Chains A and B, each alone.
Chain A
Amino acid sequence: MEYVVIAFLCLGILLYFLLGGADFGAGIIELFTSTKNRSRTRKTMYQAIGPVWEANHMWLIIAIVILFVGFPHIYTTMSVYLHIPLLIMLIGIIARGTAFVFRHYDAIKDDMQWLYNRIFRYSSFITPLFLGIIAGSVISGHIDTEATDFASAYIFSWLNWFSIAVGLFTVALCGFLAAVYLIGETDDEHDKRRFIKKAEYMNIAAVIFGAMVFIAAQLDNIPLMDWLFRNTVGLTAIILASISLVLLWYLLLKGKTKVLRILAGFQVTMILLAISYAHFPNFIRLKNGSAISLFETIGPEKTIYSLGLALLLGSVLILPFLGYLFYKFQKKEE
């Protein structure tokens, strides 16, 4: 049963990254859209993510619940040493979710829209940035459980080049996922071209920030190269991700939206797999060189058994219902 629980944890994180990420990305795209096109982008985006955005963010809840029920030591270590970035991320989540709803459900469209839009756009940028920073910090080995002063315990655990580079990389990936998703959500040729352009820019940004991640890893003495290239799974995943990068560009230029979506999702999945595979089952790397492993900190047997059962039962109910939601509200003509 522990494998079921871990599989759901990975699935939760992956789907949050893909679906929640695309969702954040839509706000990022809006942020980087020129003023004259913004309202069009907003409209497409609303049609595209309106029905599904709440559900997309449930994956985060699923992942966090699995962590605190099944792996409480991991959950609390993150909560203590990454308190500040978690807090900023939460503020971002609150601000973004409410602004998104407020701007749509304000019965009178007036100057308040300006405020909602601003909040929505900036929090769409900040939230994935800090999500990335948190993810980077977890594997960066900067978390120091033996620290005695405030700065090294609670600040430098996440404020380092590697974490920030991962944060920016995450933002670019989210933007990319969203742009790819939005291409298929509009009929207008002009808008389609705009989103294709955005996808290209975001992809270039992702490649640049990806390179920054490697440089930062070198600076911070993080053996990223070893993780990626010293095992077959990591290597295969990286090769597949690179192949899909080339294919993506080809498809982008051709404007094939459906395959493009799947390929973009696949590429991001491969990147996540490549980075995380080498540590598994270690989850948090600590400054003193040790690591907190999933298996060593797993909760009591009965808890894991009932958690796994609850997740299996839940997915029987959730997945078909969720699939139907996506199916029902996707664009029809294709």
Chain B
Amino acid sequence: MDDFIAARSQMALSLGFHIVFSCIGMVMPFFMAVSHYKWLKTNDELYRNLTKAWSKGVAIFFATGAVSGTMLSFELGLLWPKFMEHAGPIFGMPFSLEGTAFFIEAIALGFFLYGWDKLNKWFHWFTGMVVGVSGLASGILVVAANAWMNSPSGFDYVNGAYLNVDPIQAMFNKAWFSQALHMCLAAFTATGFAVAGVHALMILRDQNKAFHLKAFKIAAVFACVGAILQPLSGDISAKDVAKRQPAKLAAMEALYKTEKPAPLLIGGIVNEKEQTVKGAIKIPGALSFLAHGNFKAEVKGLDKIPEKDRPPVAITHYTFQIMVGIGTFLALISLVYFVNLLRKKSLLDKPWLLKLFVLAIPLGYIALEAGWVVTEVGRQPWIIYGVMRTKDAITPMPGIAYSFYIFTAIYLSLSCIVTFLLYRQIKMVPVLYSKTESNNH
């Protein structure tokens, strides 16, 4: 395997792994806080048990997210030293703040996990909230750093030198808001659907119904609100990308030729050599509208982008379709769920709706990963958009393929073990939390 491909694959693998764990670690604390609040207010033991059960999941995910995040902070330098040498001082601001947020999160988690019966109950609840809020802040800050790679600002690039560095301006680059909003909603939606789906499955299996129903309701509200808001945030992102990164937008929509008005393609098989798309459904003018808010506007195609600056089209297009397709599906489920809620119908009478939620367990994460591929692959061949190419950033050390193989093995086995542990946690729910459970710490 070529060092360049190996390095990119290793980076993609590490981020793809980390993103799932960090999203769970960032969102679950809010579910816990709701359930914890209900326990404190109602004294219903089911809520306490639920909070404890979830907190075990969070402990597992947080630790895995933390170590894979530590790995990433080194990996940036191990794989892309030339990028970090220049970018570090410019886009480092969000990272240094993120360090603080992450630290606070770890401390708060220590309080939360070990604080049962040891702390003032409201202080204990508060530490749980701190875990969530600082986790969310970490997520936003890291995304702001990534956004800088898409929308570099806060420096002047003069003859290969990076001058007049302003880290604050770099942090508040043009892409940070749309990207951070989209990512946060995605985290809530994906995690919400995964958690709700697992509990829906247990309800369908007729196990500890009262427990799982309470859990389902909390997770489902977060998931559905996220899924309904997400298309709006997607629209903000699309317009932003159209303005800043026309090459990415063109690749997302496999728009080889500049068109006015430009149609929206749904599906289709991309042939990168012939630069054609076969079998796609075309909606006339829709892309013009999505990109520029006007059905007749011109949308830049790849023909306007020099060949050496074009991103891979097929991957970007397919992953974009997957993301949008799943996003739409989840938004529809959410609408149905809310209609059902408004009509005060019992969920238990609607096994088909629960089944839809079960189906959605992996979907949110698939969409999230796909969206991340869109933004990263769509930025290629640049590591700093328009400034530094990815291939110029790579480490001089040969043999990266081996480290890629090692990490593939590590991440695969970690994923298996984590899944196995969750399976066991869920399997043990009836034993651990039957009626008056005592100490299971």
Q: Which residue of A lies closest to B110 (CB)?
A: A51
Docked CA distance A57–B110 (Å): 13
B interface residues, how many (CB within 8 angstroms): 68
Q: Which of A133-158 contact B (CB under 8 A)?
A: 150, 153-154
Given A60-B70, A62-B99, the answer on whether A80 and B396 have CB atoms closer than 8 Å is yes
Q: Are the CB atoms of B106 and A55 closer together than 8 Å?
A: yes
Q: Are the CB atoms of A105 and B425 closer together than 8 Å?
A: yes
Docked CA distance A98–B78 (Å): 22
Q: Which residue of B lies closest to A73 (CB)?
A: B85
Other-chain residue from A55, A65, A87, A300 in contact with B73 (beta carbon distance below 8 A): A65
Docked CA distance A300–B154 (Å): 12
Q: A277 at interface (Cβ–Cβ under 8 A)?
A: no
What is the distance, in angstroms, from A53's C-beta to the closest C-beta of chain B?
8
What is the distance, in angstroms, from B279's C-beta to the closest C-beta of chain A?
43
Given A55-B110, A57-B70, the answer on whether A106 and B421 have CB atoms closer than 8 Å is yes
Given A54-B63, A83-B395, the answer on whether A107 and B85 have CB atoms closer than 8 Å is no
Given A55-B103, A107-B425, A322-B107, the answer on whether A76 and B84 have CB atoms closer than 8 Å is yes
Q: Which of B60-82 contact A (CB under 8 A)?
A: 60, 62-64, 66-71, 73-78, 81-82
Given A69-B96, A105-B421, the answer on whether A94 and B74 have CB atoms closer than 8 Å is no
- Which residues of the partner chain B approach A54 to less than 8 Å between Cβ atoms? 62-63, 66, 106, 109-110
Chain B 416-428 interface 0/1 with A at a Cβ cutoff of 8 Å (1 = within): 0100010011011
Q: A318 at interface (Cβ–Cβ under 8 A)?
A: yes
B56, B74, B114, B397 pick with most chain A CB within 10 angstroms = B74
Q: Are the CB atoms of B92 and A94 closer together than 8 Å?
A: no
Q: B398 at interface (Cβ–Cβ under 8 A)?
A: yes
- Which residues of the partner chain A approach B63 to less than 8 Å between Cβ atoms? 54, 97-98, 100-101
CB-CB nearest 4 A-B residue pairs: A69-B92, A79-B77, A314-B100, A299-B89
Q: Which one of A200-208, A268-276, A303-311 contacts B?
A: A303-311
Q: Are the CB atoms of A299 and B99 closer together than 8 Å?
A: no
Docked CA distance A303–B168 (Å): 8
What is the distance, in angstroms, from A230's C-beta to the closest C-beta of chain B?
34
Given A72-B85, A321-B107, A325-B110, the answer on whether A108 and B428 have CB atoms closer than 8 Å is yes
- Which residues of the partner chain A approach B70 to less than 8 Å between Cβ atoms? 57, 60-61, 90, 93-94
A107, A318, A325 pick with most chain B CB within 10 angstroms = A107
- Which residues of the partner chain B approach A75 to less than 8 Å between Cβ atoms? 77, 84-85, 88
20 A-B residue pairs with Cβ-Cβ distance under 8 Å, sorted by A, are A52-B110, A54-B63, A55-B110, A65-B73, A69-B92, A72-B86, A75-B84, A76-B77, A76-B85, A86-B74, A97-B67, A98-B64, A98-B414, A101-B60, A105-B56, A105-B59, A108-B424, A299-B89, A310-B93, A328-B111
- Which residues of the partner chain A approach B82 to less than 8 Å between Cβ atoms? 76
Docked CA distance A55–B70 (Å): 13
- Which residues of the partner chain A approach B110 to less than 8 Å between Cβ atoms? 51-52, 54-55, 325, 329
Docked CA distance A75–B74 (Å): 9
- Which residues of the partner chain B approach A50 to less than 8 Å between Cβ atoms? 113-114
- Which residues of the partner chain A approach B90 to less than 8 Å between Cβ atoms? 303
Q: Which residue of A lies closest to B75 (CB)?
A: A90
What is the distance, in angstroms, from B244's C-beta to the closest C-beta of chain A?
24
Docked CA distance A107–B57 (Å): 11
Docked CA distance A310–B167 (Å): 12
Chain B 235-249 interface 0/1 with A at a Cβ cutoff of 8 Å (1 = within): 000000000000000
Q: A227 at interface (Cβ–Cβ under 8 A)?
A: no
- Which residues of the partner chain B approach A57 to less than 8 Å between Cβ atoms? 66, 70, 106
- Which residues of the partner chain B approach A68 to less than 8 Å between Cβ atoms? 73, 76-77, 84, 88, 92, 95
Other-chain residue from B74, B81, B114, B118 in contact with A64 (beta carbon distance below 8 A): B74
Given A55-B103, A69-B92, A97-B66, the answer on whether A310 and B84 have CB atoms closer than 8 Å is no
Q: A317 at interface (Cβ–Cβ under 8 A)?
A: yes
What is the distance, in angstroms, from B240's C-beta to the closest C-beta of chain A?
25
Q: A102 at interface (Cβ–Cβ under 8 A)?
A: yes
Q: B412 at interface (Cβ–Cβ under 8 A)?
A: no
Q: Are the CB atoms of A310 and B96 closer together than 8 Å?
A: yes
Docked CA distance A200–B250 (Å): 68
Q: Are the CB atoms of B167 and A306 closer together than 8 Å?
A: yes
- Which residues of the partner chain A approach B56 to less than 8 Å between Cβ atoms? 105, 107
Other-chain residue from B71, B75, B95, B395 in contact with A65 (beta carbon distance below 8 A): B95
Docked CA distance A321–B69 (Å): 22
Docked CA distance A174–B77 (Å): 27
Q: Which of A169-184 contact B (CB under 8 A)?
A: none
Q: Which residue of A lies closest to B432 (CB)?
A: A107
Q: B166 at interface (Cβ–Cβ under 8 A)?
A: yes
Q: Which residue of B lies closest to A56 (CB)?
A: B106
Given A75-B88, A105-B56, A314-B100, the answer on whether A58 and B77 have CB atoms closer than 8 Å is no
Q: Which of B95-145 contact A (CB under 8 A)?
A: 95-100, 102-104, 106-111, 113-115, 118-119
Q: Are the CB atoms of A321 and B104 closer together than 8 Å?
A: yes
Given A72-B84, A101-B60, A314-B99, the answer on whether A93 and B67 have CB atoms closer than 8 Å is yes
Q: A132 at interface (Cβ–Cβ under 8 A)?
A: no
Other-chain residue from A93, A101, A317, A328 in contact with B71 (beta carbon distance below 8 A): A93
- Which residues of the partner chain A approach B118 to less than 8 Å between Cβ atoms? 328-329
Q: Are the CB atoms of B168 and A306 closer together than 8 Å?
A: yes
Other-chain residue from B67, B166, B414, B428 in contact with A107 (beta carbon distance below 8 A): B428
What is the distance, in angstroms, from B419's C-beta to the closest C-beta of chain A?
12
What is the distance, in angstroms, from A319's C-beta to the closest C-beta of chain B?
10
- Which residues of the partner chain A approach B102 to less than 8 Å between Cβ atoms? 58, 61
Q: B406 at interface (Cβ–Cβ under 8 A)?
A: yes
Q: B335 at interface (Cβ–Cβ under 8 A)?
A: no
Q: Are the CB atoms of A318 and B425 closer together than 8 Å?
A: no
Given A91-B410, A98-B63, the answer on whether A107 and B100 have CB atoms closer than 8 Å is no
Q: Are the CB atoms of B67 and A307 closer together than 8 Å?
A: no
Q: B347 at interface (Cβ–Cβ under 8 A)?
A: no
Other-chain residue from B62, B100, B427 in contact with A318 (beta carbon distance below 8 A): B100
Docked CA distance A318–B99 (Å): 11
Extra inter-chain contacts (19) besides given A58-B106, A69-B93, A105-B60, CB under 8 Å: A54-B66, A57-B66, A72-B86, A72-B88, A75-B85, A76-B81, A76-B85, A87-B403, A90-B74, A94-B68, A98-B67, A101-B64, A105-B425, A106-B421, A299-B92, A300-B165, A303-B165, A314-B103, A321-B108
- Which residues of the partner chain A approach B424 to less than 8 Å between Cβ atoms? 106-108
Q: Which residue of A lies closest to B429 (CB)?
A: A107
What is the distance, in angstroms, from A54's C-beta to the closest C-beta of chain B?
4
Q: A66 at interface (Cβ–Cβ under 8 A)?
A: yes
Q: A302 at interface (Cβ–Cβ under 8 A)?
A: yes
